[in-house]
Structure 1
Amino acid sequence: MADPPPPFTPSASAADLPPAPPAIRHDVSPTSNAPLALAESGFTFCDENPLVPPQHLTAASLEEISRGALTLVVPPYKAYLNHVTVASSPENGLPIVSTSSNCPDTALLSSLPLYAAGFHHPANTGSPKHIYFEVRLLRLPRRADKGAVAIGFAAKPYPPFRLPGWNRGSLAVHGDDGHRYCNNAFGGSEFMEAPWRVGETVGIGMTFGTGRVGGGGGEVWVERNGKRVGGWEITEEVDSIDSMRGGDPKIGLDGRWDVYAALGVFGGGIQVEVSKFESV
């Protein structure tokens, strides 16, 4: 009788194995899509409004950022002032965003950047920078195609009539389809279970570390109800560049520009509590 074969010993470590298959990308969202005219307007906005350089911040502003003492700002245009409000919760003082009927696609940015490139860049501090933004869903429409929430980050200026993730210098995860978007005006990439539901808490974080593109941003992660559900590297999105527009998804997010928390909403009957801003 032949001797039994020797025990199997893998010849390669986990680091030597091929990477996981890329996320499935879509040309359109399976739930809701903005009109083509608005998409074109978003491109035009970005063409006409270049990213602004990092701003100079006072010591008081930097202290507010470090304490997470921020809020979200409604775009200063009549179309949004009639449909979106931000008020302090009477219970805990946290910002609450509410929408009324027929609220258009709207992007609200934080009052100050969570990542201030002139102060937080790893080349200046010698340490990685982590930012995080979390919301609690208090009220949502019954149907995801009638209204939804998106959370992410954006550099300024960002078109206020576009959800985060759709245009230059922004990334986001959308609660209606669960897709992630990074300068992607199409259908994004499959990422997490959706739709999000009332009572859930969803957060998104980003790390600006040494040795990355521009010396800055690279890793993104998402939490749901206190548990990490996944993440990705900004460099994974390079292949999704819109060659017709020359849109590099890293622009605005690679550590050279200020980065703001970004909340996207559309549709009426939405109420969201911003439960956490972190910059550590």
Structure 2
Amino acid sequence: MANKTYAPPQEPPPGYNASDTSYGPPPPYHNWQEAVPDTSILPPPPIGGNYNSNTGNASTDDAKRAHEFCDRNVLYRPAHPSAVVYSTVQRHDIGPVPAAEFRGSISKHQEQWRGSTRDRNGDCTLLTNLPLYFALADSPFVTERSKTVYFEVKLLALRTGPTHEDSSGLSIGFVAQPYPAWRSPGWERGSLGVFSDDGCRFVNDSWGGKDFTAAFQVGETVGLGMTFQLPGDINAVGSLRGAQRLDVCVFFTRNGQHVGGWDLHEEVDEEAGGVYGLEGDFDLYAAVGLFGGLDFEVCYDPKGWLFRPQS
């Protein structure tokens, strides 16, 4: 279900508790039409967000409970991984951890993890047992090299009914922990995701996401990656690393072909929830959101990928 509320909201999306000092308010909206009166040579305005989905919507109660969860639980401070833990991830010896809300089965078959959910299974997210990105070990500010994380999901079957309550699908994304397990990636802080039912992308977005790609078809393999790079002016005279942010690009693939992506910091405005938790300063886990009845495969190992990202 590619959004969170049953009806369009009557006011702007709610923020998290303002008393939570673990992160600041979202970046101010940059009204480039006022800043630059002559807009004739500028590109079209950014894609606006949606307030609801035409394919299915999660409950308001689940959204409220998730916001309360995020208010109570700040993101985990990144820790430097031990040599054993880090080498485990480098060997791609990782797997999904079923949430309590997951109703189904999942097991490993060679490089893939093959799973199935029961019909009308509620929204839930499968996270990897270890991060794909370690902020204190993989950040280009530490290594002076770019870092790419990526994985793929194949949609094997969908079991849907005639109503929105019977809709089924999945999403592919990344999240920072802790994350409410009854919510799909992209819906709460420190997360992003792309959804199968309508192709919308979500970045810390508790409403309807942004139009991005076509809906996923049964039999298709999709992939999602993030590339973290040093900012272009890192060597500028007088620059301070602590005051800079990494360049972060998100890319999306279908059946082994790069078909789209976005700069993480684009289109950050008053409709969105910011990009907190996704800028390379927190550990990030691969995430697969699931709802309804479906069969799927997840692959974290490059040997089983259709796409070959540059490291």
Name the TM tier (shorter chain). Answer: 0.7 to 0.9
Decide whether the 8 Å contact of 1:131 with 1:207 is kept in 2. Answer: yes
Q: Is residue 109 of structure 1 aligned with residue 127 of structure 2?
A: yes
The partner residue of 2:145 within 109, 124, 127 is 127
The partner residue of 2:75 within 46, 51, 63 is 51
Relative to 1, partners in 2 of residues 1:206 and 1:102: Cα closer, same or farther, differing over 3 Å?
A: same
Q: Is residue 25 of structure 1 aligned with residue 49 of structure 2?
A: yes
Q: Report Cα offsets for 1:161-187 as digits up to 9, x if no partner.
A: 111100000000000010000011111
CA RMSD of aligned residues (A): 2.2
Decide whether the 8 Å contact of 1:219 with 1:232 is kept in 2. Answer: yes
How many residues align? The count is 252
Match of 1:151, as an amino acid?
Answer: I
Decide whether the 8 Å contact of 2:149 with 2:227 is kept in 1. Answer: yes
Question: Rg bigger for which structure?
Answer: 1
In structure 1, the residue matched to 2:186 is 165
Match of 2:123, as an amino acid?
Answer: D
Unaligned runs of 5+ in 2: 1-40, 233-242, 303-308
Q: Is residue 234 of structure 1 aligned with residue 264 of structure 2?
A: yes
Question: Aligned equivalents of 1:136 and 1:199: distance in 2?
Answer: 7
Greater Cα offset, 213-222 or 45-54 = 213-222
Deviation at 1:208, TM superposition (A): 1.0
Deviation at 1:214, TM superposition (A): 5.4
Question: Aligned equivalents of 1:273 and 1:47: distance in 2?
Answer: 33
In structure 1, the residue matched to 2:298 is 274
Q: Is residue 178 of structure 1 aligned with residue 196 of structure 2?
A: no
Question: Aligned equivalents of 1:171 and 1:24: distance in 2?
Answer: 17
In structure 2, the residue matched to 1:7 is none
In structure 1, the residue matched to 2:12 is none
Question: Aligned equivalents of 2:129 and 2:262: distance in 1?
Answer: 26
The alignment-based identity, stated in percent, is: 39
Unaligned runs of 5+ in 1: 1-16
**What TM-score comes out, normalization by structure 2 length?**
0.75
In structure 1, the residue matched to 2:279 is 254
Question: Aligned equivalents of 1:120 and 1:262: distance in 2?
Answer: 19
Decide whether the 8 Å contact of 1:121 with 1:255 is kept in 2. Answer: yes
Match of 2:203, as an amino acid?
Answer: C
Deviation at 1:67, TM superposition (A): 2.4
Deviation at 1:102, TM superposition (A): 2.4
Question: Aligned equivalents of 2:62 and 2:193: distance in 1?
Answer: 18
Please give the secondary structure, in 2, of the residue aligned with 1:235. Answer: coil
Question: Aligned equivalents of 1:176 and 1:142: distance in 2?
Answer: 11
**What TM-score comes out, normalization by structure 1 length?**
0.83
The partner residue of 2:255 within 221, 225, 233 is 225
In structure 1, the residue matched to 2:97 is 73
Relative to 1, partners in 2 of residues 1:204 and 1:225: Cα closer, same or farther, differing over 3 Å?
A: same
Deviation at 1:22, TM superposition (A): 1.6
Deviation at 1:142, TM superposition (A): 4.4
